[in-house]
Chains A and B, each alone.
Chain A
Amino acid sequence: MGPLIPLGQISSGWDFIIALIIGIAFGFILEASGFSSSRNITGVFYGYNFVVLRFFFTAVIVAMIGLEYFDYMGWIDLNMIYILPTYLSPMIVGAIIMGVGFIIGGFCPGTSYTAIAIGKLDAIVFTLGLFLGIFIFSEIFPYIEDFYYSGNMGNITISEVLGISNKLFTFIFVIIAVIAFYVTWLIEKKVRKTINPYKFE
């Protein structure tokens, strides 16, 4: 049945429309989860709020479990999914830079736009800086091109590197996520004097 475009179920002209719909949903969920507030985001660093970590872990494990089941049920063919190539050392460096920017700025690229949407001034400044950074990067790109393309590992997945099946890796990852949920909750309880958990039945 899927993926829809590579299998020719729908024409490739639909990809922008699908991207638009998914983008609206993504922005809505980010805002609804409170990610427009830089307090929530930097809270991971200061140890009083791990909602970002839990949010993304939840999204990842639900998607993983869902895709594995859908693959089994024949709704989507995971072998046809495009996997971005892995450039190991540039990715590590890039992740460090992004992490530093995350804590200093209080936004990630996606959440800065949702914050603009609700009219935050710091988010506007953050986005201007973002474009400035992109401009500087493209100007110095020729000098770092070799590093940028170094360490190409091809289109690999973690389960391929570890030599285990996708399903086993999903299971292991869910266990890790659940442990992370519990540990972050313990840390939050210790750091915050008055913990006021969401009411949820």
Chain B
Amino acid sequence: MHVHEINPKKTLITLTIFVIVIIVGLLTITNPRLEYKLTPNETVELVVWDDSYVFPYELEDVIVGAVDTVILIDIRNTFDFSRGHIPGAENISAVELLSEDNIKRLKKLQKEGICVLIYGETQLQANGPWMVFRQLGFSNVKSLMGGYQYYALWKDNLADSYGDDGYLLGAADFDYSDIASNVNIDENEGDSEKTSITVNRRKKSTVAEGGC
């Protein structure tokens, strides 16, 4: 007498359990709510080749309402926001921006081709959140060069900032090796003459062009 003959259904029962475990496992896979759309390598490409910044002088069209395909989002805290912000900006913190409702809204905006411009006190503050949203696949999220500080400096004559490049980041202000090798401590002023930076400035977009 073989073990199978004691309970002839043993094999089928075992296999049924096996199949049920796999099916239950497949059904209960928890898909994370948010998933990276860009692979790490694509993210590196993004930050090396990115061109999705908005130049401060481009803001003027947005503020006067000539371009209605841009939404401004201020990710600073409410206190800073209440002290001054770019006209028309909404105050949503970076973490809040990841909430279900806001993600839904961002998706809708992306479909409609509306650009979401996020800014912080400095460009650095908006940099991380901007990268997260780009990695989540929101190609319509852009970051304001120079941040709010630069805007506040130029807010009365924003268009004139076209000729200024104080908002440019990511470039060397000094010829480090030159400075580091001959420093005279007593010259405290330190002639920090800027080396001429070659700026590939985007042409000022006409009002009609607008948007992203």
* Contact indicator per residue, chain A 25-63, by CB within 8 Å of chain B (1) or not (0): 000000011100000000000000000000000000010
Residue pair A66, B8 in contact (C-beta under 8 Å): no
Residue pair A69, B22 in contact (C-beta under 8 Å): yes
A73 within 8 A of B: yes
Q: What residues on A are CB-neighbors of B3 within 8 Å?
A: 32-34
Complex Cα distance, B18 from A198, in Å, reads: 22
B29 within 8 A of A: yes
**Choice from A34, A69, A70, A75 contacting B2 with Cβ under 8 Å:** A34
Q: A73-B29, A198-B2, A198-B5 are in contact. Are A66 and B22 (CB under 8 A)?
A: yes
**Choice from B5, B8, B26 contacting A69 with Cβ under 8 Å:** B26
Shortest Cβ distance from residue A188 to the other chain B in the assembled complex, whole angstroms:
15
A82 within 8 A of B: no
Residue pair B18, A66 in contact (C-beta under 8 Å): yes
Complex Cα distance, B24 from A70, in Å, reads: 11
Residue pair B9, A201 in contact (C-beta under 8 Å): yes
Residue pair B4, A198 in contact (C-beta under 8 Å): yes
Q: What residues on A are CB-neighbors of B5 within 8 Å?
A: 198-199
Residue pair B26, A73 in contact (C-beta under 8 Å): yes
A16 within 8 A of B: no
Give me 8 A-to-B residue pairs in the complex whose CB atoms sit less than 8 angstroms apart, sorted by A's number.
A34-B2, A65-B22, A69-B25, A69-B26, A70-B25, A198-B2, A199-B8, A200-B8
Which residues of A pack against B, CB within 8 Å? 32-34, 62, 65-66, 69-70, 73-75, 198-201
Which 10 A-B pairs rank lowest in CB-CB distance, beginning with the nearest? A198-B4, A73-B25, A201-B8, A69-B22, A200-B8, A32-B3, A200-B4, A198-B2, A199-B8, A199-B5
What would 6 more interface pairs be, CB under 8 Å, given A34-B3, A65-B22? A32-B3, A34-B2, A62-B18, A69-B26, A198-B4, A200-B8
